[in-house]
A and B are shown apart, each in its own frame.
Chain A
Amino acid sequence: MLKLPIYLDNNATTPCDPRVVEAMLPYFSETFGNASSRNHSFGWAAEAAVDLAREQVAALIGADPKEIIFTSGATEADNLALKGVFEMYADKGNHIITTEIEHKAVLDTCKHLEKLGAEITYLKVNNEGLPDLKELEAAITSKTILVSVMYANNEIGVINPIKEISAIAKKHGVLMMSDISQAAGKVPVDVNREGIDLAAFSSHKLYGPKGVGALYVRRKSPRVKVTAQMDGGGHERGMRSGTLNVPGIVAFGKACELCQQEMEAEGKRLTALRDKLENALLQLEQTFVNGSKTNRLPHATNISFRYVEGEALMMGFNKNLALSSGSACTSASPEPSYVLKGLGLGDDLAHSSIRFGLGRFTTEEEIDYAIQTVTETVNKLREISPLWEMFKEGADMNTIEWSRL
């Protein structure tokens, strides 16, 4: 039986896997100790649980457990990495290179650092969503301390050539950071193979609970240091003070372990479902996939349905389908998604976009339902759209005579 509403917004967040919830529950009331309490069994038990979780989290990205700093989520990890590197490497320079389609946790932190004297280069991306590596290399100066490029984009799911980017950074002695929130647990990420020095990610994007995440900080070749952004008891090797969220960390560890075990099969299953959805929707006229179709996450697609507006589309099915749109028709001059604009989409197509994010609990039956519902709603709204009528009459959109008052 199909259960409504259907959740297809797994890039925003994922439900907790029941196995994850089961793993974390004892750490609320039974094994509730403070992992920093060194003098009694309550503390030791909590510490042992955190140690195991640290191994599980590290294993997912090919890291050493000592290189994992637990945080409240990817946003905090991004902040710690950028601000911490900026402060720690102030003697070396003040220049950071990133792209203009990063997550706000990176972009807004960079904006903040600009106020503190940082020079930031925001690389443009091409219509596939990828930065030009020659441009990246040309942007490096003697003052450059960090290159920060996300592993996979949250709106279009496009995967960056991280290995190539880190090779350029390494060649010039610059640290490489990546927000791996969307990719970790979905595709194989290996910090050594891919030359990542700092990586931020979050539990709730990979079927764990909200409120816990991690920053990977490389310890060997090179040994990377970040200045703590929170003062206190010196937890997490002094880089992130604050009593550890033991149940959250245990859950994060379990979630990483499950992702690692199931990644290969799950990737294949989701690719097949995503392709089915995408191919069916592309049957509609004037429908386009945004971003590269070759290098992207298995569970994500972002599609523009020309001549219908994204928010109106979602209103048509949001009782039964949970999705996200690049439209933002909420003010006098609504700004559509800056990611889609960065790809070079016009405002009209950016406003006509829908992001589909499949997940571990998405079934084929749900995809069939989504195909039917989205198709019907697009067709219905096109019947109401004056632009669609003009298009069908063969009007040249650039020479239409618009009324003047």
Chain B
Amino acid sequence: MAYAERVLDYYDNPRNVGTLDKTSARVGTGLIHVPEYIEVVRIQIEVSPARHVIMDARFKTFGCGAAIAATSITTEWLKGKTIEEAARLDHMDIVEVLSLPPAKIHCTILIEDAVKTAINDYRHKNGMEPLQEEEEEEEEAERDYELEEEHN
């Protein structure tokens, strides 16, 4: 499968690989996997408490080259965003920016989940309400629909 140059670049030289201290109150961790652990994404954000701006973002991914590249480019995007802005991440934006083929959309769904989980982890540690669930349910319904579409 031929990938866009950008995927190869982020795969060859992944930015923001690493580990933040998951016990720190400033750090939110999202560790997500698909069944059978054939794809695992971990995204960590370090947030400045004053305005809830993401100062640093790190990742580790077990998965195909596209998943690695997509997680890396997402961590770059996260830096400098407030957690509210970051929560608006749509996995299709990652698909577009890397020109991923349809077969790789599922990787980006996992990444979106990891980002939102990391934000919620930070919110939880700092006594904030989790991201609104209603929205998530809608998204999940949408995801299920998309997964079905891919199966068909």
Contacts and interface: CB of A to CB of B under 8 A. Distances in A.
A403 B37 contact: no
Contacts, number: 95
Nearest to A397: B37
A347 interface: yes
B interface, size bucket: 35 or more
Contacts of B17: 383-384
A329 B68 CA distance: 13
Interface stretch (B47-55, B76-84, B91-99, B115-123): B115-123
A386 B68 contact: no
B103 A386 contact: no
Contacts of A403: 29-32, 114, 117-118, 121
Nearest to B37: A348
B64 interface: yes
A329 B63 contact: yes
Interface residues of A, number: 33
Interface string B49-87: 000000000001111110110000000000000000000
Contacts of A329: 38-39, 63-64, 67
B51 to A, nearest CB: 24
A345 to B, nearest CB: 11
Contact of B36 (A332, A346, A387): A346
Interface of B: 1, 3, 8, 11, 14, 17, 19, 29-33, 36-42, 60-65, 67-68, 103-104, 106, 113-114, 116-118, 120-121, 136, 147, 150-151
B19 A389 contact: yes
Interface string A333-362: 110100000000011100100000000000
B144 to A, nearest CB: 10
Interface string A388-405: 110000000100101111
Q: Which 9 A-B pairs have the closest CB atoms?
A: A315-B65, A347-B36, A386-B60, A329-B64, A386-B42, A311-B64, A403-B117, A332-B150, A330-B103
Contacts of A312: 11, 63-65, 67-68
Interface string A302-321: 00000111011001100000
